[in-house]
Structure 1
């Protein structure tokens, strides 16, 4: 049985894993610090806070729509390790702006840094998966992908928690983020050191592949994006894989958006329980990411995708039933200890863990599939096309969720949407498995 943990001892994997981990960690450290500082320390108006959240979310995701095609072309045409170094150097400069924004309480500087981090993530995204087939053996790619995915979710958790801890309320009621400002620069510097250790990953010397977009740079971002997506999605197995991953991220976007209101307005719990939910979900995805490699013994296949999606949907349906039958909260919000003193609280936590494990088992083989079933010269652009479609699916899911809430659908009832979507994801996973046989 393939033991992927041995990869953490090798230079062909550990520097990349560390670089990706620190990038995700810093991204969430900065964003959490920024949101808490703005919501609690700068704005004191609900409408301003809502407007800021909407603008910030849009600015961060916009580069994925506009620049993913360019990112994929660059990664396939140049040494991926060199691009990593350039991207991580840029992160240091970005975080200097971000740190200044945190220190000075400057909304413009914070939004500039946030947008730049979206660009940073757009250009790093295709590389973190596309580089694996060049550095790992075929039987190691699934395990490496699982470790990258697991590490990403643990980094998200760690960065979010630290970001919350480093925004400090003073005795006079003001909030300060000087420590967070220092932390984001330090993490960026360490990430650049790790990025400098990633072995070279030069572009593959392969002829143009029939059916794939031609290599070379098209700087027209709209045309390049359309060409990239259409040139990838007309290949049935890639179309099914990307569509399956997109359904996963769409469901994840709905769940992530619902965690805070679900905790506060349904379970009547405070921020500590919301953090607990995030921790459980992050650890669960990490466990699922590693467990699927064990089940598949290192083989890249989609045979467990249908069962994983259905299992995820079943756990989400149970979460809905627990939420629906929860008594309407009265009085002050309860903390983590009081929430877990009720057996139903533990049922919610364990159920959420099940959702996350199933999600990790579903999506990790699909990412490995994207990077191992296409020529090595096409991997980054394939991942970039996937990122474009994923972003669109997440935005569509968020808009649909907002519309449902506007029409009076409750927070708990929106979970049914995720459960139904998991059936579609299972069907797509089954079709992908059939296409690969």
Structure 2
């Protein structure tokens, strides 16, 4: 067992890993089941489908923008394990609403549950990274961060596959069961009490958000790391929103191929997340990130090229076996895998950087500030995407936005590397 995977045998890490894994699995089981239900069984219009994917992504992200400052303050001022238990209890109630939406094919209920799961993830997000420096040794933080990130994307893979192949009714039962198991695992996370006594929590979300971001972003190394991560998540938001419409309306394939796309992407990020720790030998450094961003952009360009010249679909949607027999199918899959591996190698060191270059008492706030800026970038990207689709820009052409953004991400990561390594 490698040093990274030995962490899975430790109680100070395993319950957190399992809780995060189950939360990410449930998010994606519900979200994929919802998107597949709406796109393949409710809507039958390419513009509506692309717009729905963008709106759903934006709704999930919106709570990060609104409540991350509050989440960061609460995580630094209270026992992080206790907050985990509260959040996982809320997940059960949220999934009752989501399950009802899936069974009734009720889009407003499903979107309400999606928005609420975004809030759930907002309050859990600062904890999953901020708790690592408190429970792990300094040389274990990068491996721990890599495992959390890899586990998250393996969970995304599993949730995506299950959500893409089961019926809406079975997905409704599944999300409730997983939420209950996550509640049990969350109760096993060891205590992580606040490291300093704080004067209190500012519940004014606008004022506290502005102050948190201002206090964090004036530090140059954090400013560069957060902006670079934001470029990554803006790119990811566009790609995730466009996968189902790209598969159906450009490649002429059914939901089994859309599930495969999301699965390949998830596997790739998991591979990159673990591989970068081996390359850096556990050191927290940004030196691999600029190259990774450029490689990611190159694969996106090739994906655009392939999609742009793909023959116009005709006839019924192609199933998975039929898609794999088409010329260019494996090229598309290799592009997706390359994008994802490079993305994992790009972002994991930057997250580790955020949690190891500030005082442990400030890690949750730092992660929360990052989440605010990231979510703003993602919401902006999805709104831009919806606007472009509305004025007639094709799904394939929006991929060029992602490729251009890779250049900016690489430049910011290079500046961070030059400033800190």
TM-score tier (shorter): over 0.9
Deviation at 1:408, TM superposition (A): 4.0
Inter-partner Cα distance in structure 2 for 1:112 and 1:326? 36
**Residue deviations 1:216-255, cap 9 Å, x none?**
3111110000001111101000000000000001111121
Q: Aligned pair in 2 of structure 1 residues 433, 54: CA closer, same or farther (>3 Å)?
A: closer
Inter-partner Cα distance in structure 1 for 2:121 and 2:314? 42
Inter-partner Cα distance in structure 2 for 1:79 and 1:410? 48
**Residue deviations 1:44-98, cap 9 Å, x none?**
7889877866664444332212111110000000111111111111112222333
Matched ranges for 1:325-340 at <5 A: 325-340=309-324
Q: Which residue in the other structure is 2:137 paired with?
A: 137
Alignment partner of 2:172 out of 166, 181, 184:
181
Alignment partner of 1:201 out of 192, 197, 210:
192
Mapped pair 1:398 → 2:382: yes
Inter-partner Cα distance in structure 1 for 2:53 and 2:326? 33
Q: Which residue in the other structure is 1:382 paired with?
A: 366
Deviation at 1:186, TM superposition (A): 1.1
Inter-partner Cα distance in structure 2 for 1:366 and 1:333? 40
Matched ranges for 1:107-118 at <5 A: 107-118=107-118
Deviation at 1:328, TM superposition (A): 2.7
Mapped pair 1:162 → 2:162: yes
Inter-partner Cα distance in structure 1 for 2:395 and 2:42? 28
Deviation at 1:147, TM superposition (A): 1.0
Deviation at 1:42, TM superposition (A): 6.2
8 Å CA contact retained: 2:59, 2:114? yes
Inter-partner Cα distance in structure 2 for 1:292 and 1:161? 26
**Residue deviations 1:126-163, cap 9 Å, x none?**
10111111111111111111111111111112112222
Q: Relative to structure 2, which stretch is displaced further, 111-120 or 343-352?
A: 111-120
Q: Relative to structure 2, which stretch is displaced further, 14-23 or 338-347?
A: 338-347
Matched ranges for 1:206-285 at <5 A: 216-285=200-269
Deviation at 1:306, TM superposition (A): 0.6
Inter-partner Cα distance in structure 2 for 1:192 and 1:15? 11
3-state secondary structure, aligned to 2:195: coil
8 Å CA contact retained: 1:142, 1:299? yes
Deviation at 1:367, TM superposition (A): 0.6
8 Å CA contact retained: 2:306, 2:332? yes
Unmatched segments (≥5 aa) in structure 1: 168-176, 207-213
TM-score, reference length from structure 1: 0.90
Inter-partner Cα distance in structure 2 for 1:93 and 1:356? 33
Deviation at 1:192, TM superposition (A): 1.0
Q: Aligned pair in 2 of structure 1 residues 431, 205: CA closer, same or farther (>3 Å)?
A: same
8 Å CA contact retained: 1:77, 1:203? yes
Mapped pair 1:191 → 2:182: yes
8 Å CA contact retained: 2:161, 2:260? no
**Residue deviations 1:291-313, cap 9 Å, x none?**
00000011111000111111111
8 Å CA contact retained: 1:317, 1:415? yes
Q: Which residue in the other structure is 1:299 paired with?
A: 283
Q: Relative to structure 2, which stretch is displaced further, 35-44 or 258-267?
A: 35-44
Q: Relative to structure 2, which stretch is displaced further, 9-18 or 96-105?
A: 96-105
Deviation at 1:284, TM superposition (A): 0.4
Q: Which residue in the other structure is 2:345 paired with?
A: 361
8 Å CA contact retained: 1:2, 1:298? no
Q: Which residue in the other structure is 1:288 paired with?
A: 272
Inter-partner Cα distance in structure 2 for 1:51 and 1:269? 19
Unmatched segments (≥5 aa) in structure 2: none
Inter-partner Cα distance in structure 1 for 2:40 and 2:400? 33
Q: Aligned pair in 2 of structure 1 residues 52, 426: CA closer, same or farther (>3 Å)?
A: closer
Q: Which residue in the other structure is 2:329 paired with?
A: 345
Deviation at 1:410, TM superposition (A): 2.9
Inter-partner Cα distance in structure 1 for 2:401 and 2:49? 27
3-state secondary structure, aligned to 1:413: helix
Deviation at 1:201, TM superposition (A): 0.9
Deviation at 1:362, TM superposition (A): 0.1
8 Å CA contact retained: 2:98, 2:114? yes
Inter-partner Cα distance in structure 1 for 2:370 and 2:78? 20
Q: Which residue in the other structure is 1:414 paired with?
A: 398
3-state secondary structure, aligned to 2:396: coil
Matched ranges for 1:38-117 at <5 A: 38=38, 56-117=56-117
Deviation at 1:421, TM superposition (A): 1.2
What is the aligned length? 421
8 Å CA contact retained: 2:51, 2:389? no
